[in-house]
Amino acid sequence: MGLNLDEQKAVDRFRKDVVEPSMSKLVVLDFWAEWCGPCKALTPVLEKVCGEYADRGVVLAKINVDEEQFIAAQFQVRSIPTVYAMFQGQPVADLTNARGESQLKAMLDQLLEQLPIGGEAEAGPDVSEFVAMGEQVLADGNGERAAGIFTQVAEMAPDNAAAHAGLIRALVAAGRTEEAQAHAAGLDEKLAGDPAVKAALAALELAGEKVDDTELQNLRAAAAERPADMDAQMAFAEAAFAAGERDAAADTLLGMIRTDREWNEGAARARLVRMFEAVGLEDPWAVATRRKLSTILFG
């Protein structure tokens, strides 16, 4: 999947400690650090409330961002404490602002009313292996085949957000943007609000920036002639990515970050992260480019 050994170990720990329990329970996921004062103030509240709600299927999982930097990066944690509610492997709510017991309990009560915690609802078909297969095929660069796999999965499990997200990204990768747009437009609000689907919509959004070959060459020339013109660099990077030139887009954005990472409130980095979301965080290109970005940001 393009991960190094340490990253794979981090994913395995996260799967064991968070994803697997979340298949039948509501996992309150707390991103924290030893040096974080607000984290220390929040911890007793989380432990107390989650303990009281344990018999209702609520468990607490803690992620030390210093020890699990890779996992924190996948969730784009920018400040701590950050707290999510996880169910069946997906974030279902941001609990970060629930700093008091009453606020946290109110949000948990609402979630527990909506979710089939403990398998109370009839379980749908287990399509996780097929979703993983589609993701691997997509990561290997075969958008058409991946689209076929995800189409079948979505038909088998119409409420499976990962299947719909994969289908949108696969259609985009296959150049079938209009079909991806039509599929996205047909999703109900619950699916459209899922984090995985939102990431797929990022791919669809970026694909919409595609220009014809002549315009792409004009943008390429402008970026080459005016290396200090950040607007010209950004315009070319966006068009290059939409045209499938991922390396050119990444090199341009990384160059912008080296020059001035704070330009336009960090727009170059934000755009690069959006591209990671669009192709999938475990895509080999995204993994390699994230490493380059980390080198620039952290030396």
Active-site residue, from 26, 28, 36, 281: 36
Helix (H, G, I), strand (E, B) or coil at 77: coil
Buried b (16+ CB within 10 A) or exposed e, 160-182: bbbbbbbbbbbbbbbebbeebbe
**With helix as H, strand as E and coil as C, how does 130-190 read?**
HHHHHHHHHHCCCHHHHHHHHHHHHHHCCCCHHHHHHHHHHHHHCCCHHHHHHHHHCCCHH
The reply to whether 50 belongs to the active site is no
Torsion of Cα atoms, 163 then 61 then 30 then 72, to 10°: -60
Within 10 angstroms of residue 2's Cβ, the number of other Cβ atoms is 15
Active-site residue, from 39, 73, 272, 278: 39
The reply to whether 36 belongs to the active site is yes
Q: Are strands 26-32 and 58-64 parallel, antiparallel or unpaired?
A: parallel
Helix residue ranges per DSSP H, 15-100:
20-22, 37-52, 69-74
Within 10 angstroms of residue 273's Cβ, the number of other Cβ atoms is 19
Active-site amino acid positions:
36, 39
